[in-house]
Structure 1
Amino acid sequence: MQLQLQHTVVGLALLVPNTLALLRFSCSQLVVERLDPLVNPGVTGSPHIHQIIGGNTFKPSMDPNSLDIPSQATCTTCTFADDFSNYWAILFFQARNGTFKRVPQKPNVGFEAAKGGMTIYYTPVISGQGKVTAFKPGFRMIVGDPINRAESNVPRQLTFTCLKDAYTRDGETKNFPKQPCPAGIMVNVRFPTCWDGKTLDPPDHSSHVAYPSSGTFESNGPCPATHPVKIPQLFYEVIFDTAAFNNKADWPADGSQPFVWSFGDKSGLGNHGDYVFGWKGDALQKAMDSNCNINCPALKSQTIQQGNQCTVKDIVGDNIEGWLTELPGGMAVDK
């Protein structure tokens, strides 16, 4: 993995204090289109658009009863070649004249992923004491709520970082930053770390997982009795390259921040993460048991350049290039 190790270690120390082991890797763009097999299964043309990363089994219907993701995938955009999971997010800028332009993503330092993508973390027990149970085939989850607009309802694990430079890791907020960010906006999504031990994907995609009942994941807080099984902390970092949109003369006349999620949220409080598990065999469990630290000899790897070559065809065909008069799918923007 091509890492600038000194800066990476500093960044990780700020991000996950006292951590002993974690997987940290790049996943580049697979496709950008209006599909959501988790919330709108079988629908070609879901309400809002996403940038998808991960395995090339991504399609409108991903029924775990009929789709064996690892055996049917032929490539992945992720550095660890046995990870055929899917992850997604997308952001737009709304100019003063009301038009929209997609905000490009850019990679973290040392991760030269095509068209941005994400940095993915899987972290076992922070203290190094005890084991975690890797996700099982058919496991899916969502954290956060795209229709939420109340700060009190946002978990502390869903935040934004206004990047002063590529290594900024402080000053996280639950709302979109209200000022221009010199090096972009980083979206941070940390998933729950406790599982009920039996449910792979409930109707709400979230009630089978929970955060620690007291303390935090970082302090090795205990899981609630209802969700007793410790699972890896899945964590996304997505950096949106907002530099081209930092001229406040282009921002709304009232001075409010100009960014909007593809589902119409201008507050940022609808920040959420979707996850479809797709690791091959017991690869993720081996990595967690091995306490791999970034690089992981227990896993099959590919170069970032190889991952960049994995794509799927956009079957919806929305126009997302240049300036748009509305969000893809005609999604309304919050007033």
Structure 2
Amino acid sequence: MIPNMSRRTHPQRRQQRQQAHKRSRLSTRMTVAAMALLLGGGALTAIASTALAHNSDPAPVPGHQHLTATAATISCPDVGENLRTVPHSAQLQVSQGLAALDRQVSDAYHAMTAGGSGGATLGALEQQRRQTIGTMADAIAQGGARRPDDLMRMSACTTMPTGTTPDRDLSQRRNQSGSQGWGGNRSRPQGQGQTQNQHQGGNHQQTGPSRDDFADITTVAPGAGGPPFLTPRGRGASTGTFTSACGRNENGHFNSDNVIVTPGVTNGAHHTHDYVGNKTTDAFSTEQSLAASGTTCSNGDLSTYYWPVLRKLDGTSSPQPGAGSDGNAGSVLTPASVTLTYRGSQTGAVRAMPRFLRVITGDAKAFTNGPKNAHASWSCTGFENRQLKDKYPLCPKGSQVVRTLAFPGCWNGRTTDSGNHRDHMAFAGPNGGCPQGFTAVPQLVERLTYDVPPGDSFAVDSFPEQLRKPVTDHGDFIDVMPDGLMNRAVGCINSGRACS
């Protein structure tokens, strides 16, 4: 179990945020035209180009951002996924170490895409990672746990092809548009004083996605991708539901923290999160502060629900951490709807979740880690029997984009967290039953819908080197339901009723 961090004072938090913002200002000037980068001994060449929004008209859609496509990115072993035991005394150092590893990869990625030597960049990155991992391992050992020396083998990183097809018609399209992405004589949006691939403060390249990351949902075969969750059915199944109505983040609760993965660290996510439910969640939240908070939920549910924002690729940019300074340009889209539903088990009754249980689904680094933990899916209203995991859907006119985030519904019955924030939870197996040693609890399924502009004009926030790929979508959840409300939810689910 990972103990909670104590809440910092507000001046300390402001100072940390200011320091994080300064660190994010890496001085690298980007070019808009295609460029070749020599990566690692000259064997791999990365091509940077721009891709225009899909549209039946060959000219760009006015106001849509040109998307930067890179043919290679940096891939590093995920240290956090391999943590098993983190003593209380080591939590802050481990959290700071994980955040430092992410920052090092981000800086190295930006250096490489700015024209730096691939071999030299990867060599320097390995040295940085070795020192940081060593400090984390020492802290774990000093806390009384076995020193995880196997983590030291995770220092070296490589380059990885993205599978992106460069836009061969780039020059022609730019000539047609008469500008770098704004369409004809259209003026830049207010505040856009730099080139398309730069943000106001840090000159970071706005990375991904590419047009290859989108698929026309009408061309996807029905049943493809499988359902994002299994509807409980059959003898003994707990078929009821409990829905928590918590709004669509109309109150504008955003930050780039992640209190589950990197507690006590400002901008630990390097991308912006949407929050509903608990009104005060940030990197410095504690069980006590969460329990004392207000909520946007109508039933008194104090739980915190958060996920990366979806942005409209309209060329706007902000120098704030988690936004433009981390490669995530575009205006934030408010969901058209947010539905938070707790479901039952295929094989029997569910038991109550323990209060302050921490649960994550999906993998923010699934593009480089692989799809093992990629449990989020994408679709369109009217086509939800067709699910996509590694593509954004292009929906017909009048159809909304749908994000589905299904969380694991099996708990180890002992701890509310684990070293990698996954081991204490599990998904049900093919027969609907929990793995040995796990018991069924209410399974959270989040369904979000969006009204998006036509074409490949939207993207989820991500770590810079993950290129805003759809496979990196993920969600986080901390159960802060009062015990009485949780017991009511369990009763509804087990008795087959639909409650809210």
In the other structure, the counterpart of 1:281 is 483
Secondary structure of the structure 1 residue equivalent to 2:339: strand
In the other structure, the counterpart of 1:27 is 246
Q: Residue 179 of structure 1 is aligned with which of 390, 394, 410? A: 394
In the other structure, the counterpart of 1:124 is 344
In the other structure, the counterpart of 2:434 is 223
> After superposition, where does 1:109-258 map in structure 2 within 5 Å?
118-126=338-346, 130-149=348-367, 153-154=371-372, 157-164=375-382, 168-182=383-397, 183-215=399-431, 221-226=432-437, 228-242=438-452, 245-246=453-454, 248=455, 251=456, 258=458
In 1, Cα distance between the equivalents of 2:274 and 2:433? Answer: 34
Match for 1:197: what amino acid? G
Offset at residue 94 of structure 1 (A): 2.7
Q: Residue 260 of structure 1 is aligned with which of 416, 436, 460? A: 460
In the other structure, the counterpart of 1:103 is 333
Offset at residue 62 of structure 1 (A): 2.3
Q: Is the 8 A contact 1:142 1:275 kept in 2?
A: yes
In 1, Cα distance between the equivalents of 2:316 and 2:240? Answer: 48
Q: Is the 8 A contact 2:277 2:302 kept in 1?
A: yes
Offset at residue 212 of structure 1 (A): 1.8
Instruction: State the Cα deviation string for residues 80-112 of structure 1 (Å, max 9, x = none).
Output: 22x1001112111335899522222112xxxxx
Q: Is the 8 A contact 2:378 2:393 kept in 1?
A: no
In the other structure, the counterpart of 1:93 is 312
Give the direction of change, closer, same or farther, for the CA distance of 1:260–1:51 in structure 2 (3 Å limit): closer
Q: Is the 8 A contact 1:176 1:259 kept in 2?
A: no
Q: Is the 8 A contact 1:123 1:234 kept in 2?
A: yes
> After superposition, where does 1:43-82 map in structure 2 within 5 Å?
43-46=265-268, 47-64=270-287, 67=288, 69-70=290-291, 72-73=292-293, 75-81=294-300
Between 50-59 and 169-178, the greater mean CA deviation after superposition: 169-178
Offset at residue 181 of structure 1 (A): 4.7
Q: Is the 8 A contact 1:154 1:174 kept in 2?
A: no
Offset at residue 282 of structure 1 (A): 3.4
Q: Is the 8 A contact 2:362 2:375 kept in 1?
A: no
Give the direction of change, closer, same or farther, for the CA distance of 1:79–1:263 in structure 2 (3 Å limit): farther
In 2, Cα distance between the equivalents of 1:186 and 1:269? Answer: 14
Give the direction of change, closer, same or farther, for the CA distance of 1:43–1:210 in structure 2 (3 Å limit): same
Q: Is the 8 A contact 1:163 1:181 kept in 2?
A: no
In the other structure, the counterpart of 1:322 is none
In the other structure, the counterpart of 2:46 is none
In 2, Cα distance between the equivalents of 1:267 and 1:156? Answer: 12
Offset at residue 155 of structure 1 (A): 5.3
Offset at residue 204 of structure 1 (A): 1.3
Match for 1:79: what amino acid? S
Offset at residue 271 of structure 1 (A): 1.4
Secondary structure of the structure 2 residue equivalent to 1:282: helix
Give the direction of change, closer, same or farther, for the CA distance of 1:181–1:147 in structure 2 (3 Å limit): farther
Offset at residue 147 of structure 1 (A): 0.8
Q: Is the 8 A contact 2:380 2:393 kept in 1?
A: no
| Structure 2: gaps (5+ residues) | 1-228, 318-328
In 2, Cα distance between the equivalents of 1:259 and 1:43? Answer: 25
Match for 2:362: what amino acid? G
Q: TM-score, normalised by structure 2?
A: 0.45
Give the direction of change, closer, same or farther, for the CA distance of 1:149–1:26 in structure 2 (3 Å limit): same
Offset at residue 124 of structure 1 (A): 2.2
Instruction: State the Cα deviation string for residues 181-211 of structure 1 (Å, max 9, x = none).
Output: 5332111011111111102111211111111
In 2, Cα distance between the equivalents of 1:38 and 1:288? Answer: 25
Offset at residue 258 of structure 1 (A): 4.6
Structure 1 runs of 4+ with >6 Å offset: none
Q: Is the 8 A contact 2:375 2:406 kept in 1?
A: yes
RMSD of aligned C-alpha atoms?
Answer: 2.9
In 1, Cα distance between the equivalents of 2:375 and 2:393? Answer: 20
In 2, Cα distance between the equivalents of 1:156 and 1:60? Answer: 24
Q: Is the 8 A contact 1:41 1:60 kept in 2?
A: yes
| Structure 1: gaps (5+ residues) | 1-13, 108-117, 216-220, 252-256, 297-335
Task: Give the number of the structure whose alpha-carbon radius of gyration is greater.
Answer: 2
Identity of aligned residues (%): 22
Offset at residue 134 of structure 1 (A): 1.7
Offset at residue 34 of structure 1 (A): 2.3
Q: Is the 8 A contact 2:492 2:499 kept in 1?
A: no
In 2, Cα distance between the equivalents of 1:161 and 1:17? Answer: 21
Instruction: State the Cα deviation string for residues 199-248 of structure 1 (Å, max 9, x = none).
Output: 21112111111112332xxxxx221114x211111111111221xx21x4
In the other structure, the counterpart of 1:36 is 258
In 2, Cα distance between the equivalents of 1:69 and 1:187? Answer: 26
In 2, Cα distance between the equivalents of 1:173 and 1:266? Answer: 15
Secondary structure of the structure 1 residue equivalent to 2:394: coil
The alignment covers a number of residue pairs equal to 248
In the other structure, the counterpart of 1:331 is none
In 2, Cα distance between the equivalents of 1:283 and 1:40? Answer: 29
